Amino acid sequence: MSLPGRLQETFSPEEVQFIVENQKIKIFPRITTSKKRGGDSSRNNNNNNTDNEDMSRWRMLTMDGRALENMIVMKSTEVTLWLALLLKQQSKCNIIIPEWLTIKGLDLMLQYEKRNIERFSALPWDWLVVSEILFKQAADDFNDPIYELRNRIQDLKEIRQMKVLQGLKNLNESHMQLDNLGLLEINELRPFIVRVMDKLRQIHASGIDTTETENQDYDDDNDIGMGTMISSDRDASSSIPPNAMSF
């Protein structure tokens, strides 16, 4: 079954979140994935040869079968965002907030955006989605006030939107240069820009057809004109009396 046209042009919010949640983020685990396997302490004391086996680690697996690093309490490690959120819901980790998602980091980005009228700051491609997810599901892991961070995120979004609108002036039927735009920003712009580029392509193609038609008409007119001149010359020659031709 084919998707509706509106869903073919852009990612749905659920698709965007699914893509972003597969990116890595750092956490401080509250659990250790190192366990003793089998046997009690008395049995282990009686058989020293099995100590190493009883202390061996087990591995936590993701659904795709890849092993994660063995987690140790309060020792930072990297996991996918979806797993970090799951552990967070179970109070088994704290999420380490990225440097760019702090007041200091966002202020630096704002300064860059204001200084460079035609350039975009190098924010992560998933910055809008990640910030919203962490604001909602990991608010207690932030050191800065959430409302101040939200204000800065909104300022960044509005400044970048204005730059995009100005950048549309340089849009042609085949190219638009807008570096460092995020996934959500591109997803919002895609339908409009695609339609504009299609229209420009049609105008460009019709302009070429019109020029070719005009050139063809001009060539035809020239051919007709030359034929008329030759015919007139012949008629003029035939109208001269024979004696006028003698010397």
Confidence of residue 11 (pLDDT cuts 50, 70, 90): confident
Within 10 Å of residue 205's Cβ, how many Cβ atoms? 11
Mean pLDDT of all residues in 157-176 = 75
Query: Is 194 inside any structural domain?
Result: yes
Query: Is 38 inside any structural domain?
Result: no
**Model confidence pLDDT, tens digit, residues 38-95:** 544 444 555 554 444 444 555 666 655 555 667 889 899 999 999 999 999 999 999 9
Query: Residue 222: is its pLDDT beyond 90?
Result: no
Query: Is 44 inside any structural domain?
Result: no
Mean pLDDT of all residues in 11-28 = 92
Is 154 found in the same domain as 92?
Answer: no
Residue 67: predicted pLDDT: 56
Tally of domains in the chain: 2
Is 71 found in the same domain as 132?
Answer: no
- Amino acid type, 62: T
Domain of residue 188, residue span: 98-210
Residue 171, class by beta-carbon neighbours within 10 Å (0-12 exposed, 13-18 middle, 19+ buried)?
Answer: middle
Both structure tokens of 89: 């819901």
The position carrying tokens 């990640």 is 130
Is 137 found in the same domain as 74?
Answer: no
130 with 20: CB under 8 angstroms?
Answer: yes
C-alpha–C-alpha distance, residues 110 and 120, integer Å:
10
Is 104 found in the same domain as 87?
Answer: no
Indicate whether this model's pTM tops 0.75.
no
Q: Which percentage of the chain shows pLDDT scores above 70?
A: 58
Instruction: Say how many CA atoms lie within 13 Å of 71 toward its Cβ.
Output: 24
Supply the DSSP symbol for 210. H
Within 10 Å of residue 113's Cβ, how many Cβ atoms? 20
Mean pLDDT of all residues in 199-216 = 66
Both structure tokens of 176: 């638009």
Residue 70: predicted pLDDT: 74
Query: Is 200 inside any structural domain?
Result: yes
